[in-house]
Amino acid sequence: MDGLILVNKPQNLTSHDIVAEIRKLLKVRRVGHFGTLDPLATGLMMVGLGKATKLFPFLSKAVKSYRGVMRLGFSTDTYDSTGQPTSTEKKDFPTKQSVRKAMKKFEGAIEQLPPPFSAKKYKGKPLYSLARAKKEFELRPARIFIHFLRLKKFKLPFLEFEVRCSSGTYIRSLAHDLGHSLGCGAHLIELTRTGVGNFHLEDCFTLEEIKKLAEVNKAYKFLHPLESLLPEFPKIILDDQGSSSAENGRLIFAENIQKIILPSPSLSTDSSESAVIFRMFNPQGKLLALAKKMPEKNCYHPFLVIDTRQSSK
């Protein structure tokens, strides 16, 4: 079984738990997720099966959308409601106008420190293991991009918000840093991922729904096939000889190309890769490889081969 499942993750399960459940439900060995969600968080989680796991470098980079709630008044060591307070509680809250102004400052390209309790690695070890052991380590900032951070509801001490951001953004850090900027402290108490790239929360299935559909052999209802993925990349249809070359990673020349189909303008993408990467298909419509154009040789190089001749177990 090869493809992508959009799982509606419930609270209190880790991303690893979701992968393990899908592996058990569908009896598929190769399963992986394309973006961690904390146990506190809910919502859209992309899970790849079989050969879809090869597309991790591309699917994991997609822009993410969230809605959530943060609590003003004090910060915590985990930056969310599961942690211990690290500041005394304050009752002197900012105005709605001050909050909106502070949020605006976080939009655009910024440097962000990960939470001390996170899966981010430091010298090969996850930060949470070092933090729990009370060992000293250096937090290193990462360059991220916040497309927007909007206040949706102002009901002190709670702020309901929505955010669209680049991959690698920690919403817990965003809440913590906003609290620091406002001078009153803050931490995240609720979070739901509502979108990843062109996928949306309303397209997701719960674990129970996936189980019931799998039991009656209707996996096609929740499984996005390989051929439907990365539609923002142009599509090249090859002849039989070109298909054989692509399956073996050999260069593809113009005489082996039957057609090039450009993506729909409605497919939004924030990646420059969409202009230089092509999906290669055989005449029967099977995805064979991802390729890059080599103008100097007037050909295409299949740099990521996806073998479709055998199904994954």
- The owner of tokens 């719960």 is 206
CB 293 within 8 A of CB 304: no
Q: Which of 58, 67, 63, 66 is nearest to 196 (CA)?
A: 63
pLDDT at residue 133, rounded to an integer? 61
Cα(310)–Cα(313) distance, rounded to whole angstroms? 9
Cα(187)–Cα(267) distance, rounded to whole angstroms? 34
Cα(14)–Cα(36) distance, rounded to whole angstroms? 8
157: preceding bond cis by omega (within 30 degrees): yes
Is the domain 230-305 a CATH 2.30.130.10 member?
yes
pLDDT in tens, the chain (313 residues): 999 999 999 999 999 999 999 999 999 999 999 988 999 999 999 999 999 999 999 999 999 999 999 999 999 999 999 999 998 999 899 999 999 999 999 999 999 998 886 666 555 665 666 556 666 666 778 899 999 999 999 999 999 999 999 999 999 999 999 999 999 999 999 999 999 999 999 999 999 999 999 999 999 999 999 999 999 999 999 999 999 999 999 999 999 999 999 988 766 555 555 568 999 999 999 999 999 999 888 999 999 999 756 444 4
For the entire predicted model, the pTM comes to: 0.88
203 as an active site residue: the answer is: no
Cα(46)–Cα(199) distance, rounded to whole angstroms? 9
Spans of all domains in the chain: 3-62+199-226, 64-196, 230-305
Q: Are strands 257-261 and 235-238 parallel, antiparallel or unpaired?
A: antiparallel
Of 38, 203, 240, 270, the active-site residue reads 38
Cα(213)–Cα(220) distance, rounded to whole angstroms? 9
DSSP assignment of 225-284 equals -GGGS-TTS-EEEE-HHHHHHHHTT--EEGGGEEEEEPPPTT-----GGGGTEEEEE-TT
SS3 53: helix
Run of H or E residues at 65:
strand 64-72
Cα(174)–Cα(152) distance, rounded to whole angstroms? 16
Q: Which CATH architecture has domain 64-196?
A: 2-Layer Sandwich (3.30)
What phi and psi values does residue 202 have, to the nearest 5 degrees? -65, -10
Instruction: For the chain, report the end-to-end CA distance as a whole number of angstroms.
Output: 7
> Would 3-62+199-226 and 230-305 be classified into the same CATH topology?
no
Give CATH superfamily name and number for 3-62+199-226: Pseudouridine synthase (3.30.2350.10)
pLDDT at residue 105, rounded to an integer? 97
